[in-house]
Structures are given as structure tokens and as C-alpha cells.
Structure 1
């Protein structure tokens, strides 16, 4: 079976390489000419673990600029095109609609092909994609991934669950693909596309709430004079099985390309339904205020007024992403207070404030470490 993947970005290329490694013939498309050339030459610049190594070993993998070529030559087509956030918090799915149009404009038979949407969409979007493609004999499924940048391949191979929205004759095919690429036997959840779209958002909303809760407890502990026992308190709370310890850690706050956006998208969808939920917006607001708390906290702790130093300011260690990074926000806030700030890891140097001093400090500093 030939598998196609439209949108071979950071996540898409990882999924494609795992599919190829599992024995499938894979064709990917992307709109970036130099990137496609690099994929076909087996030489791309990436800091995502294992991607370069796996790409170097592929045998049945081709990249193209042409989505239609992918559709023509493959039985099942995944798409992981970008879906940026709109001002109201919802997702702009125009790139997915373009793929739908690519299907509809094909001048060859496409009946019986399968379209799997893996990028984050708004609840109800996949139903609309299905409405457009039903008359062409195309089944549409929603199949998001639950991963973190910097560990995508590992997260795909050891996923807690496989979530599939949709029904029809190709469910078993999708499940079989994941059986082959994963190193554990995950829980498989099958439901309607709209319900699956809601699950994707709701899972990340729960995580943002839990992270916010842990930081709230930490702030209370710090101002109660019990800063040294923050981790003990959170461990005790997390050892209650009704709560659980994952993501229950005092830290910078949540950031990156997924959690904040999903939080806002869920609130935006609820608002469209006439539901004025404050939880998501309150969580988002607290996350911003927590950064201000950390500024005051670290400034007060730095009694000798030393320069500050971060190990890294990306949203997650060993990634090159500063999008909504709370570490970077804290760094900029300290710079704006006229502190000298060092950052050891220069992976994101080109994306950051030029006032930062990069590299290991050669003077005594106050380390920012949570």
C-alpha cells in the first residue's frame, strides 16, 4: 500500500519516516522547493532527534511539490498542513480546504481513496470536508497526534492513545498503520470526527489547567515562606490517584505551538455555541500573570544584583521554538529591567533579542532554573 502525506513539516516528516520504516511506500509533498530537494537528496537541516538518521536510511520515500501527484499515486493520503490561529482563537483551515480542492480537481479516478486529516482543526471542520468529498467516494477521517517538539518520533512510537474520528471501510487500515509504527500497544479510541476534534482540544486544555494549578500552588507556597517545599507539596497532591503527578510541577508556565493555541481554540468554539466559559481564558490569563510573578520572584532572590543566566529560552530544551515560550518572555522582561542576561544554548539565537549575551558566562551570575 502506498501512503501519501501532504505537508511534510516538523511533524509530517516524522510520521512519514516512521511509515516508511514500517515497510510502506511513502510519497510526501511540501510547498518549499529547497526543502523538497533536500528530502530527495536525503539532506535537510533539522534538530528533531532521529529525523536525519531515518531519512538517510529510507528506501521507499519520495518528496514532491505537487499535492496532486501524491493523491494520484497513493491509496491513503494524510495531511499535516499548517493551521495557524485566527484573532478569535479558532484555527485557519484554509490550507486543508486547498487539499480538499486538490482532490476535487483531479482529472483521474479518485473513488475509494482515503483522506486523513492530522493537523489541528476546529470541531465540525472535518464534517464539512466530508460533505465536499462524499460524492467523490472519499472517506474523511480525523487523526491528530499528541506529541511534543523535540521528541516527536519517540512520542509517536510510544503514544498513550490513537484517536480516530470517522467511520467507514478504512478504519482498520489506519489502525494497522499505527500498529506497525508503534512500539507499544496503545489504546485506540474511535468516534465521530467532531468528537475527535473536541478531544484533541480538550486534552490540551486539561493539561494547561493542570500546569496552571501547579503554578498557582507554587506561588502560594513561595509567598507563604515555604518555597523550599513546593516540590514536596505538589508530589503529595500528585500521589493522590485522582489527581496524578504528570504535569504537576512548579515551573515557567505552558508555552509552545500547541497548548496555548488549543486552549484558546476550545474557548472560541464554546463561544460560537453560546457558551461563555471562563476557565480557558482564566487559565491563559494566569499563565501570563505567572510570568510577571517569576520576574519579581527572581529579582527579589537576586540580592546581589548579579546578571541573570538561562540554560535555554526556547519553550522546551533542545528545540529551536520560541513561540509563546515563557522562558523567553521572562528573559525579555529581565532585559527590559536593564539586567544583563546570558543564555547558554544558542540554538534560537537568530530568533531572539539582540541584547542577550550568548554562551557560558565568564562572570558570576544568578542562574534561572525551575
Structure 2
């Protein structure tokens, strides 16, 4: 298949490289010249395991190209829209500037029989509006939401756990959606996943748009639920980790996403639940998802709690105390600092007069650009002479730290485990004062 991917940020770059890996002829298009030049050389502009290898292989084989000129996409039959939908600067809704711009730029190059496929996360109703613009050209629109996990994005694209197609519900498709040309084209794109019997849901535009935001709203709710239980556990003398283990054995609940800590961040969950709430209010059903505002509030409250624990552990003041912050990315195996709880806590502690030395295996460069007032260094730099250690991103190397060895390096043997990811018994037996969230 000849495929174009419009937008080569995190989603687009991974999608383009993965499509080339699957055997398609792919061109990625983006207005950012520096990004396109890097990608054309096989260099990933962000950290994602497995992506650099796919880029190099695709570029060297000629199956993957990049351009800043959208006219170069005119020979493609399928055009994936993979641009960002950030939160509006003046509100909580999704900013569709990039989606609208991508479609407007693509319109002159569409031909009869082409398929435009939306992958960006958009408010419900967007696809119907865009279809009215695209269909007069003779092209079709489908919505194919992405379900990428940062750190596993390549695997999630090449071997997804499910596929969702939102297509125009016409007399042609309503009787047997599998016979529609849009479905047939998408099945050819994802032939490998289809052959591997990946679950496939063929539905309408609105349902496909709701799938991604509904999934993220559910995950965010589950995380905030266990963090709310952590708040109760702290005042009741219970242990939230043991509580999560106990309720997680219930097959209806499950243990995944029941890890209490500093909360969720990144470029999806926070902005998606806010945009979902804003869209529901526009549709006159704001009360249906009003609970998401409390989910968001609980999540942000966890950052406050970590700061409180650090200050309390330091005797009531962080002023001029050296604080080692381990982790800046919002999650491990990523350099993404968008709405990162870890970076937010580091900045707040700095604002309280602490001498913060922050480290991260991949996110220092991005963090330095965003917050140059912080001091950055290696793990050894951060731990040397620290009055307190704060673990905020559960990187493998931080979970593997040897508490006995680190005891001789720091000034104060106090660790605040913002992710409840450390071996409590090991740290306490090594003489450390261990402080977790919702832990006994």
C-alpha cells in the first residue's frame, strides 16, 4: 500500500516507521523541518525503544521517506492524520487547529478512491464534520483510534491488542461493514494483525471517536480510585499496596493500574479526560462525566501530598536542603515530560528553597529546556550528600538501587517513594527511613 502519515510527532513517527516495517510504501509529512531532517536520517526525535532501528531500516530500504511538502503525499492511497490535539490554552477542550490544518492542506491532493484515516484523539462529532469536507473530493474518511503505550508504541502498532474502524454508516456498510471499501483498505493495511486474529470492531464514526477517550477516562478513574484509597489508608493505618493486591484478585477489577503514587501524567490521560468533560458539557450531558473532574483533582492532589511528605520528613522546611529527585519523565522508558508529576514535584520543591538535583535516564534534556532553573546531573550527582531521596519515576535502575550502598553516599537516610516501587523491607533494614504513599 502507498501510505502517507500527516504529522510526524510521537504518534506519526511511530506509525510511519511501523507501517514501513509491515511492508508498505510510506511517506511521513510534517511542517517541522528539523524534525523531518532528523527522521530522514533515521534519527528518532524522542526516546522510544525499538523506533530508531525501524527508522534506519525503513529509510535505508527506501520504503520510508519524509518530507515537509504535503504535495509529496499525492500518490498515496491512504492518508493517516496523526497530528496532535493538545488542550486549548484558554480552556479544557481539545485544540483541533492541527487536525483542521492537516485536512485543509491535504484536500487539494486527494483523488477519488483515496482513504483519509484519522488517528488523532478528537472530540466526538469531529469525524462527521471532516467527512463532509473530504467526501466531495471522491475520497472517504475512516476513524482508526490509536492505543499506544509510551515505551511499547512500536509493539502496540505492529501487533495491537485490538483494531477499531469507524466508517460511514451507509446502505452499503450497514448491511455488511466488511464489504465497504474503507474497511477493505484498512484490512489490507493491517493484514498481518488481521491474519493473527486481532480483535476487530467495525463501527460508526462517533463510537470510534469515543473508544479512545472512554478507555483513557476509565484508566484515569482506576488510578485515581486507588490514590483516593491511599489517602484513606494513611489516616486509617492501612496499607494501600496490600489493599490493591487483595481487591486485584477479583477478576472483575484486576490488579493493573492499581498502583498508588504520585499520579498520572503525559500527553494523553490528563488532557483527554478534560477534553472529554468539555465535549460532554457542549453536548448537554456534562453531568454524565462530572466525576472526571474529581478524578483530575485527586490526581493533582497526589503531587501536593508528595511535596508535603518531603517537607515533613525534613523537619518542616526544605529550605537549603539537598533533595535528590530520581525521575523526571511521566513514566519509565520515555523522555516525555508533558504534564509530568515528577517534574512538577521537582519544580515545587525548588520553589520552596530546596537545592534540587534531578536526574533521569532520558528526560534531562527536555526538562532542562522547560525548567532551566533546576540543577540536573547523574544519579551519583543527585545522591551525593542528599538530605532526602525522592523517587518519582519507576525506572528499572532506581528500583534496583542498593540501599546499603547508597546509605554511605547520602547525608540523610530518608527516601520518599513516590511510586511505591521500592523494596520496603530492604530499605528499612538498611537503616533508611522509608516513606511511601498510603503505606503503613
Length-normalised TM-score, structure 1 = 0.91
Q: Give the equivalent residue in structure 2 for 1:36.
A: 36
Q: Give the equivalent residue in structure 2 for 1:138.
A: 139
- 3-state SS of 2:116 partner: strand
Between 343-352 and 131-140, the greater mean CA deviation after superposition: 343-352
- CA displacement 1:98-143 (0-9 Å, x = unmatched): 233234324xx70010000111111011101111122221110111
Q: Aligned pair 1:94/2:97, yes or no?
A: yes
1:261 to 271, 283, 303: 271
1:337 to 336, 352, 359: 352
Kept in 2, the 8 Å contact 1:291–1:330? The answer is yes
Deviation at 1:344, TM superposition (A): 2.5
Deviation at 1:184, TM superposition (A): 5.7
Kept in 2, the 8 Å contact 1:146–1:155? The answer is yes
Q: Aligned pair 1:189/2:192, yes or no?
A: no
C-alpha distance 362-327 of structure 1, shift in aligned 2 (>3 A): same
- 3-state SS of 1:216 partner: helix
Aligned residues: 365
Q: CA RMSD in A?
A: 2.2
- CA displacement 1:175-199 (0-9 Å, x = unmatched): 3323426996432122111111111
Deviation at 1:303, TM superposition (A): 5.2
- CA displacement 1:121-175 (0-9 Å, x = unmatched): 1101110111112222111011121113333112323432212111431213213
1:354 to 373, 379, 382: 373
Q: Give the equivalent residue in structure 2 for 1:274.
A: 284
- 3-state SS of 2:286 partner: coil
Kept in 1, the 8 Å contact 2:4–2:80? The answer is yes
C-alpha distance 332-102 of structure 1, shift in aligned 2 (>3 A): closer
Between structure 1 and structure 2, the one with the greater Rg is 2
Question: Aligned partners of 2:44, 2:263: CA distance in 1, in Å?
Answer: 32
Deviation at 1:274, TM superposition (A): 1.5
Q: Give the equivalent residue in structure 2 for 1:292.
A: 304
Deviation at 1:316, TM superposition (A): 1.3
Question: Aligned partners of 2:26, 2:354: CA distance in 1, in Å?
Answer: 51
Between 146-155 and 271-280, the greater mean CA deviation after superposition: 146-155
Question: Aligned partners of 1:230, 1:52: CA distance in 2, in Å?
Answer: 39
Q: Give the equivalent residue in structure 2 for 1:363.
A: 385
Question: Aligned partners of 2:375, 2:33: CA distance in 1, in Å?
Answer: 33
Give 1:158-169 correspondences, 5 Å limit.
Answer: 158-167=159-168, 168-169=180-181
List runs of 5+ in structure 2 lacking aligned partners: 169-179, 391-416, 420-440
Give 1:120-269 correspondences, 5 Å limit.
Answer: 120-167=121-168, 168-180=180-192, 185-226=197-238, 229-269=239-279
Question: Aligned partners of 2:354, 2:96: CA distance in 1, in Å?
Answer: 42
Question: Aligned partners of 1:248, 1:297: CA distance in 2, in Å?
Answer: 21
- 3-state SS of 1:73 partner: coil
- 3-state SS of 1:105 partner: helix
1:310 to 325, 335, 344: 325
Question: Aligned partners of 2:195, 2:52: CA distance in 1, in Å?
Answer: 20
Length-normalised TM-score, structure 2 = 0.78
Kept in 1, the 8 Å contact 2:145–2:211? The answer is no
Between 82-91 and 5-14, the greater mean CA deviation after superposition: 82-91
Kept in 1, the 8 Å contact 2:358–2:374? The answer is no
Question: Aligned partners of 1:200, 1:93: CA distance in 2, in Å?
Answer: 16
Deviation at 1:45, TM superposition (A): 4.1
Between 23-32 and 177-186, the greater mean CA deviation after superposition: 177-186
Between 344-353 and 216-225, the greater mean CA deviation after superposition: 344-353
Question: Aligned partners of 1:40, 1:218: CA distance in 2, in Å?
Answer: 47
